[in-house]
Structure 1
Amino acid sequence: MRAARKQADRSAETQRALIESATVLLQSIGYAGTTTALIARHAGLTTGALHHHYSSKDDLMLGVLDRASERVARGLDMIVHAGGETVNVHDLIRHLWEIYGDPEYWAIWEIIIGTRKDTEFHTKVIAHRQETMQRILYPWVAKNIISHPKMHEYGSLFEFMLIAIRGLSLERFLDKPPEYFEKNLLLLTEMVEWKLAAIRSTQQ
């Protein structure tokens, strides 16, 4: 039993090393340049070891997407709201920005954009992103924000926040200074707080 556990630990460690190497390379040289041979070399492994865990580059890219989904879930679990129906918008937006604004998330954009000419795999990538929304993000909203008849308005507002944050993250490619992001995150926070107050006021 102990030997099996050690083998499982080694397997998980190898998979983690491969995914981390793939993420780094996707950020630095893009999707097309990130080959399985280069990923294995960056991780200090053989291509045989890589293919033992991931049968293809596509399979490994899905592993990178899974890692991003897990990070989103952990980030949301860290968000503390002020009880009742009052959400701490500042903390919510900051945590989402830590996820989507992190340069590590560029790897996800590389996969999404880089696979657009591969219709079959691109469809799987988009489905994975949608599944993440359904499995992780929407249940969190339902549990922490939506507890009344205004669920459609709250859900739409949450989706708008994600759209705005993901869009802002792309501005990193234009080498904008930190204060640019700070200014726009504060503006987004003010807009969301105003809309939340407007939604709640109609329930009085």
Structure 2
Amino acid sequence: MSILEEKGVFFSVGSITIEGLLSESSPDTGVVITHPHPLYGGSMHSSVVEALVRAFQSLNLTTLRFNFRGTGRSTGRHDNGIGEQEDVKGAIDFLKGKGLGRIYLAGYSYGTWINTQVMKKEELMGGILVAPPVDFFNFDFIPYKNRFALIVCGDSDQYCATDRLISLLGPIEKDVHLKVIKGCDHFFVGKEGELEALVKRFKL
């Protein structure tokens, strides 16, 4: 399935202008999708981000993917995860401004860490974490019981060791849906279709 039509949008976060792509399907439910680390080439055009867009579009959900500050046509500079949290909040507010009341977060790699920080402060429906880099960032999943619907990683992920992820989930492991894709590393090369199918089957 190819990505359905998206339109370019811009929204403000303080003095920063954020570039995004919006696909409007549902009038009340939307997903904000965040991308991998911009200092290592990550952007909203990641193939994994695009797989998530396709999956959510097939479920008739409104999607908004965007470039963090300092990436693509988004102004400002990389802010080590602080300002990027404000970018996510700005994306949430953008969808709320269009009348959407049910908003989820979905992130890939670095974007998952940003999303978990935002979830500490925002009342959202929940979301999806794809390849959270638990070997490099401090993830604390305990406060998020029943907040994240699905976590997906590969069994050969260089930055998300499955045993460490399970250990971090601890007592809430039974409350989340953890799916491990065989033969898949952190970059999901050739595995985007499997990821897309998992998200479609889960149905937020």
Flag whether TM exceeds 0.5 (same fold): no
TM-score by length of structure 1 reads 0.30
Q: Which has the higher strand share?
A: 2
Give the structure-2-normalised TM-score.
Answer: 0.30
> When you count helix as a share of all residues, which structure comes out higher?
1
